Structure 1
Amino acid sequence: MITFYPGPSKVYPQVADYAAEAVRSGIVSLNHRSAGFMDVVKETVRLLHEKLDIPADYHVALVSSATECWEIVAQSLTAEASLHPHNGAFGKKWVDYAYKIKQPTSLSDADVLCIVQNETSNGTQVSMETLAKFRQEFSALIAVDAVSSMAGIAFDWTLADVWFASVQKCFGLPAGLAVLIYSPAALKRAEEIGENAHYNSLLFIHENFSKFQTPYTPNGLGIYLLMRVLQQVPPIAQVNVITKKRAADWYAFFEQEMSGSLFRILISDTAIRSDTVIAVEGSEPDIKAIKTAAQQAGITLGNGYGDWKNTTFRIANFPAITDEEIGTLKQFLRSYKR
């Protein structure tokens, strides 16, 4: 079965060998305070900086999920209130969750701006140019949910103070781990707020990762797999070129070869279309029919999500997916159109 589901999505095939390697070598049995495991954490952090071109003064930590990162931003970095401009289901989920933890009394006093860089639910994204405008206009911290794009496209990390993503999408790994990246300014804000009452308080996380330790018993296998995948993938500048070329090809494919079919790209504004999640619109019966036909052909298309649950399917454009698999899906779509 070929999967284009946008998360959890296809893992790199080498992951199976890496997992077996971790068991055989005893990595998964190491105490998380041991020197051997700390070496794995240290190398993983180093590789994240190197392969994703993260600035040297930005800090890296590993946590359980992007949802946990929402919690960390709300409890450790929000003194008064957070602002959440959004246009999709995951942006809405973030604001709902954040306000349960830190209910704002006045949004005019907001000290954190929370942006979903890639809105997986509808195939939109916030460009670096737009993020730069936010940076100019908002003087406090900016936090970016980059779940469906980190490790798939290149970022200007300096345009935000907090970036985070789970690994089950562009990293090509199983779910259960997330990467949290934060600037010196974010750490300073955490110190000013002084929130240190939880196992995942940013100050406690930072204290541990400064020693290449974790504040709790971690997903050791997930961290090892992340390290091994980072060793195999090219630098993000190269990945970025491939991802954006594939995205352009997908949009051209639907606008040209699929023109006049039952399906069309959901987002008409080309400036905000996602590079990593392609959302395709159709009637509810047609969407249901094509997903069933694809499944019978050995292809899993992504379901719609939120307001678009029944009227879209989604195609992951993640690095672990091969050109051959993309070609197979395109041939299926051509045949389906006929």
Structure 2
Amino acid sequence: MTEKREYRDDYDDKTLYIPGPTEVREDVIEAMTESTFGHRMDRMTDLYTTIVEDTKEFLGTDNDVVILTASGTEFWEASTLNLVDENILVPTCGSFSERHANVAERLGKNVDRLEYEWGDAVKPEDVREALESSDKHYDVVATVMNESSTGVRNPVEEIGDVVAEYPDTYFVVDAVSALGGDYVDIDAHDIDVLFASSQKAFAMPPGLAVCVVSEDAYDREVEKGTSSWYGGFRRTIDYYDRKGQTHSTPAIPIMLAYRKQMKHMLDEGHRARDERHREMMEYVHDWADEHFAMFPEEGYESQTVACIENTRDIDVAATIEQVSEEYDMAFSNGYGSQLGEATFRIGHMGEHTVESIEALTDAIEDVADL
């Protein structure tokens, strides 16, 4: 049985370079300290309509946006319940895409996996072949955009173009660790559902899930007749259209933080934010090529999370601990037993810059004697 470990008041602050949560601006944290107000007040309508419409503007989408108090995991479950009658095709190339498949199985759906080695990316032509050759009708193809366990960025744009050729199959994208730091044109590539979490590249506190929903996906749920209660598209979108609020009590302080940070994101702009993340990615890749090697398939590296192969056989756990103790910086080991010491990961997302990432790599060089 787990024993209680009392939370203290004397922890050292660590600069976060993990794959999320990431660093949050001071004024965004301060926004959470506003006085409490009721979630059915006009003030809540002002807050919620602001964050929803600002998110649409930032992402450049005409689709509906739903923001709920939840982890992004909510929309693994909700999108499956809302859209899938029987069959779902899930390309798997790492831990999180595999987990998406597991969620669908637990919900009683028939899941076909299109399996790749960890570190390899999903290929659009393989998705096409799977759709063409199967004797089943797939209600959904579900793909992770940014497989943060392996540092792979899947080509969801090209995959979306393939799925669009099958009008009765819907395309669902887990963009949890990428959205806000890696530009994607949702509408142009017929992505029906795309979801993310606030604590990753959005650089907000944890606690909110963001979901972009196409009109076709909404109509599909209506036609299907059964759906998720909490994350149902019709329930959340219709309530927003009627009331400008969420159907259930939200985490208002985090939405206040979201409002403040989304204004910063709009000021920077989606393309500029994408370019800043690309510069961080290029810096980390150059550094990794000099000292180690990148783990993902070449040409498919994540723009927000670097997964670096431990070619020098350093003690990853000990290095992480020493960097934390001596420099108050936190980065991550590989994900799970398969990659735990074989790789390590650097989250270069949110409000980080090349200069702040360089401070971490300098610390790693010092501790690991590179």
Q: TM-score, normalised by structure 2?
A: 0.82
Q: Higher mean Cα deviation, 292-301 or 239-248?
A: 292-301
Q: Higher mean Cα deviation, 280-289 or 30-39?
A: 280-289
* Shift, 1:105, TM fit: 8.1
Change in Cα spacing, 1:197 to 1:302, as seen in structure 2 (3 Å) is closer
Match of 1:166 in 2: 197
SS of alignment partner, residue 157 of structure 1 = coil
* Shift, 1:309, TM fit: 2.5
* Shift, 1:302, TM fit: 1.4
Pick from 235, 241, 253: which aligns with 2:275?
Answer: 241
Match of 1:48 in 2: 55
Q: Higher mean Cα deviation, 182-191 or 215-224?
A: 215-224
* Shift, 1:183, TM fit: 0.5
Change in Cα spacing, 1:330 to 1:77, as seen in structure 2 (3 Å) is same
Change in Cα spacing, 1:197 to 1:59, as seen in structure 2 (3 Å) is closer
Change in Cα spacing, 1:231 to 1:171, as seen in structure 2 (3 Å) is same
Match of 1:301 in 2: 331
Match of 1:329 in 2: 360
- RMSD between aligned alpha carbons? 2.0
- Please say if residues 81 and 102 of structure 1, whose CA atoms lie closer than 8 Å, have aligned partners that are also in contact: no
Match of 1:70 in 2: 76
- Please say if residues 283 and 354 of structure 2, whose CA atoms lie closer than 8 Å, have aligned partners that are also in contact: no
Per residue, is there more helix in 1 or in 2? Answer: 1
* Shift, 1:203, TM fit: 1.7
Please give the residue correspondences for 1:204-283 in structure 2 after superposition, counting only pairs within 5 Å: 204-210=235-241, 211-233=243-265, 234-256=268-290, 258=291, 263-267=292-296, 269-282=297-310
- Please say if residues 2 and 325 of structure 1, whose CA atoms lie closer than 8 Å, have aligned partners that are also in contact: no
Q: Higher mean Cα deviation, 66-75 or 323-332?
A: 323-332
* Shift, 1:334, TM fit: 3.3
- Please say if residues 22 and 350 of structure 2, whose CA atoms lie closer than 8 Å, have aligned partners that are also in contact: no
Matched, 1:94 2:100: yes
Pick from 118, 140, 153: which aligns with 2:182?
Answer: 153
Pick from 290, 315, 329: which aligns with 1:286?
Answer: 315
* Shift, 1:154, TM fit: 0.8
* Shift, 1:12, TM fit: 2.4
SS of alignment partner, residue 109 of structure 1 = coil
- Please say if residues 316 and 333 of structure 2, whose CA atoms lie closer than 8 Å, have aligned partners that are also in contact: no
The whole-number CA distance in structure 2 between the counterparts of 1:244 and 1:134 is: 26
Q: Higher mean Cα deviation, 63-72 or 322-331?
A: 322-331
SS of alignment partner, residue 83 of structure 1 = strand
Q: Higher mean Cα deviation, 212-221 or 96-105?
A: 96-105
* Shift, 1:325, TM fit: 1.9
* Shift, 1:285, TM fit: 5.7
The whole-number CA distance in structure 2 between the counterparts of 1:322 and 1:272 is: 21
* Shift, 1:136, TM fit: 4.7
- Please say if residues 81 and 228 of structure 2, whose CA atoms lie closer than 8 Å, have aligned partners that are also in contact: no
* Shift, 1:311, TM fit: 2.2
SS of alignment partner, residue 155 of structure 1 = coil
Match of 2:40 in 1: 33
Can you give the 5+ residue segments of structure 1 that lack an aligned partner in the other structure?
none
Q: Higher mean Cα deviation, 41-50 or 121-130?
A: 121-130
SS of alignment partner, residue 173 of structure 2 = strand
- Please say if residues 195 and 203 of structure 1, whose CA atoms lie closer than 8 Å, have aligned partners that are also in contact: no
The whole-number CA distance in structure 2 between the counterparts of 1:274 and 1:59 is: 26
Q: % of aligned pairs identical?
A: 26
The whole-number CA distance in structure 2 between the counterparts of 1:90 and 1:119 is: 6
- Please say if residues 76 and 100 of structure 2, whose CA atoms lie closer than 8 Å, have aligned partners that are also in contact: yes
The whole-number CA distance in structure 2 between the counterparts of 1:279 and 1:12 is: 25
Matched, 1:318 2:349: yes
Which deviations, in whole Å up to 9, do the C-alpha atoms of 1:197-239 show, x marking residues without a partner? 7233222112212232112111111111111101112111110
Matched, 1:3 2:21: no
Pick from 100, 117, 124: which aligns with 2:145?
Answer: 117
Q: How many residues align?
A: 324
Pick from 60, 84, 87: which aligns with 2:90?
Answer: 84
* Shift, 1:151, TM fit: 0.6
SS of alignment partner, residue 313 of structure 1 = strand
- Please say if residues 145 and 153 of structure 2, whose CA atoms lie closer than 8 Å, have aligned partners that are also in contact: yes
SS of alignment partner, residue 297 of structure 1 = helix
The whole-number CA distance in structure 2 between the counterparts of 1:128 and 1:99 is: 23
Change in Cα spacing, 1:41 to 1:129, as seen in structure 2 (3 Å) is closer
The whole-number CA distance in structure 1 between the counterparts of 2:256 and 2:78 is: 23
Can you give the 5+ residue segments of structure 2 that lack an aligned partner in the other structure?
1-13, 113-133
- Please say if residues 91 and 143 of structure 2, whose CA atoms lie closer than 8 Å, have aligned partners that are also in contact: yes
- Please say if residues 279 and 354 of structure 2, whose CA atoms lie closer than 8 Å, have aligned partners that are also in contact: no
